[in-house]
């Protein structure tokens, strides 16, 4: 029971969290809880320069006997964008969770710039990573506070520069109090696209060498989609990006596309190579419509409070 109750509380907390806005202090308390995965003795701070990510024969399952990732090996090159695409439940988000060390591997290694992440300090590892989740979360406080959360201590100029890159500056200035507008007052007045752009601004401010992006699947109107794409382009520049891509524009612009199907890598290549190869899963996904192909998901077996545990 000692284990189940905290997990339940966390799960119900997440639900509240997504529905409403939560007191920022509660959030900090949560972030300050020790990471679930313990550091190994003598764990080192990772030295990350370029940020090349390597999965080396990774096997993983949440429940024993039900493999979720099987023999997954790939390299996400430094400074480039690598898109993960594929049918729902294939294991794309799990790949991101393993990089953030929310779970330990069953087998294999994940390395960043050659360093096995299982031997690094989790906290330092996560400081090198920006993670934009599928459901952007806003906190009680001002719009500026919400962006500053990416890097506490950032100046007003830095916050505004990040918001500009994220295509958020203009709509922020239209708010009655600009950057000092209380997000609580806005309630649900912010559109999905605006929320996403605020969370992208937060990630830009964080300025970590590695970016993990779980693209939102919720439909955006055309204008919003273009603005979000422009924001993402700003964020992805010169960063090693692993993006779970649902938008055609993100997929086509990716340097490398990895198709994940039933826990395995089915195909790797760029858009035109994959489109032109015979019988490719990618071409089939593409023809179904890449937006809907990855969107439907079965009901989750467990609620994953992961994105609350980032720092
Ligand atoms: N916490 C968990 N406990 C048990 N099983 C889980 C858990 N999280 C995910 N799974 C299972 O692992 C498999 C891979 O899930 P994952 O979320 O990585 O897929 P995905 O490719 O991201 O799917 P989607 O495109 O729908 O987001 C699925 O079968 C899923 O049900
Ligand atoms: Mg997913």
* Token pair recorded at residue 64: 């024993």
Give, for 212, the enclosing helix (H) or strand (E): strand 210-214
Give, for 22, the enclosing helix (H) or strand (E): none
What percent of the chain clears pLDDT 90, i.e. is strictly above it? 42
* SS3 sequence of 57-82: EEEEEEECCEEEEEEEEEEECCCCEE
* pLDDT tens digits for range 117-141: 999 998 899 889 988 887 777 877 8
State how beta strands 107-112 and 129-132 pair: unpaired
- Give CA separation, 301 vs 46, 58, 66, 241, in Å: 33, 22, 13, 28
- The answer to whether residue 261 scores a pLDDT higher than 60 is yes
- The answer to which of 6-20, 144-158, 194-208 has the lowest mean pLDDT is 6-20
What's the CA gap between 236 and 18, in Å, rounded? 26
C-alpha of residue 263 to centroid of ligand 1, in Å: 10
CA dihedral in degrees (275, 278, 281, 287; nearest 10)? 50
Confidence grade of residue 91 (pLDDT, cut at 50, 70, 90): very high
- Average pLDDT estimate for 91-104: 92
What's the CA gap between 68 and 225, in Å, rounded? 31
Report how many domains make up the chain: 1
Neighbours of ion ligand 2 (CB under 5 A): 93
Q: Which ligand is nearest to the CA of 89?
A: 1
Q: CB–CB of 170/13 below 8 Å? A: no
Q: Could you tell me which residues are beta bridge partners of residue 269?
A: 257
CA dihedral in degrees (31, 37, 41, 45; nearest 10)? -50
* pLDDT tens digits for range 190-202: 887 888 889 889 9
32: Cβ–Cβ under 8 A, 6 or more apart, which residues? none
- The answer to whether residue 19 scores a pLDDT higher than 60 is no
- The answer to whether residue 15 scores a pLDDT higher than 70 is no
Q: Which ligand is nearest to the CA of 261?
A: 1
C-alpha of residue 180 to centroid of ligand 2, in Å: 34
> Which stretches does DSSP call E strand in 224-295?
240-244, 256-261, 264-269
Mutation choice for ligand 1 from 69, 86, 93, CB with most ligand atoms inside 8 A: 93
* SS3 sequence of 99-143: HCCCCCCCEEEEEECCEEHHHECHHHHHHCEEEECCCCCCECCEH
Q: Read off φ and ψ for residue 74, nearest 5 degrees.
A: -165, 165
Q: Which domain holds residue 142?
A: 4-308
Domain with residue 298: its CATH number is 3.40.50.300
C-alpha of residue 30 to centroid of ligand 1, in Å: 24
Q: How many CB atoms lie within 10 A of CB 263?
A: 20
Confidence grade of residue 281 (pLDDT, cut at 50, 70, 90): confident
C-alpha of residue 153 to centroid of ligand 2, in Å: 32
pTM of the model: 0.79
- Alpha helices by DSSP H, listed for 118-177, are 122-127, 143-148, 156-165, 169-173
Q: Is 194 helix (H, G, I), strand (E, B) or coil?
A: helix
**Which atom of ligand 1 is found nearest the CA of 87?**
25
State how beta strands 81-85 and 115-116 pair: unpaired
Residues flanking ligand 1, CB < 6 Å: 62-63, 68, 88-94, 294, 297, 301-302, 304
User: What average pLDDT does the chain have?
Assistant: 81
**Which atom of ligand 1 is found nearest the CA of 294?**
25
- Average pLDDT estimate for 70-80: 97
Q: CB–CB of 283/277 below 8 Å? A: yes
């Amino acid at each position: 029971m000692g284990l189940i109750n905290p997990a339940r509380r966390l799960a119900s907390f997440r639900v509240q969290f997504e529905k409403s806005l939560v007191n920022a202090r509660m959030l900090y308390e949560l972030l300050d809880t020790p990471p679930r995965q313990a550091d190994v003795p003598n764990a080192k701070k990772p030295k990350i320069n370029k940020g090349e990510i390597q999965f080396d024969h990774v096997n993983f399952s949440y429940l024993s006997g039900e493999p979720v990732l099987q023999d997954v090996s790939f390299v996400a090159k430094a400074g480039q964008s690598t898109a993960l695409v594929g049918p729902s439940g294939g294991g794309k988000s799990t790949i991101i969770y393993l990089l953030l060390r929310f779970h330990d591997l069953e087998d294999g290694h994940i390395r960043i710039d050659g360093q096995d992440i299982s031997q690094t300090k989790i906290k330092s590892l996560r400081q090198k990573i920006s993670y934009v989740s599928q459901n952007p979360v806003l906190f009680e406080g001002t719009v500026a506070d919400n962006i500053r959360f990416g890097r506490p201590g950032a100046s007003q100029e830095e916050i505004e520069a990040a918001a500009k890159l994220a295509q958020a500056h203009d709509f922020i200035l239209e708010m009655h109090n600009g950057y000092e507008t209380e997000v609580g007052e806005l309630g649900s007045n912010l559109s999905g696209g605006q929320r996403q752009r605020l969370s992208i601004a937060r990630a830009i401010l964080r300025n970590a060498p590695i970016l993990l992006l779980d693209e939102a699947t919720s439909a955006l109107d055309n204008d919003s989609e273009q603005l979000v794409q422009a924001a993402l382009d700003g964020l992805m520049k010169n960063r090693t990006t692993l993006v779970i891509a649902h938008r055609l524009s993100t997929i086509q612009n990716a340097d490398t596309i990895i198709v994940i199907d039933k826990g395995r890598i089915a195909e790797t290549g760029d858009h035109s190579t994959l489109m032109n190869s015979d019988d490719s899963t990618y071409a089939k996904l593409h023809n179904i419509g890449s937006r809907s192909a990855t969107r439907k998901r079965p009901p989750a077996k467990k609620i994953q409070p992961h994105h609350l545990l980032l720092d």
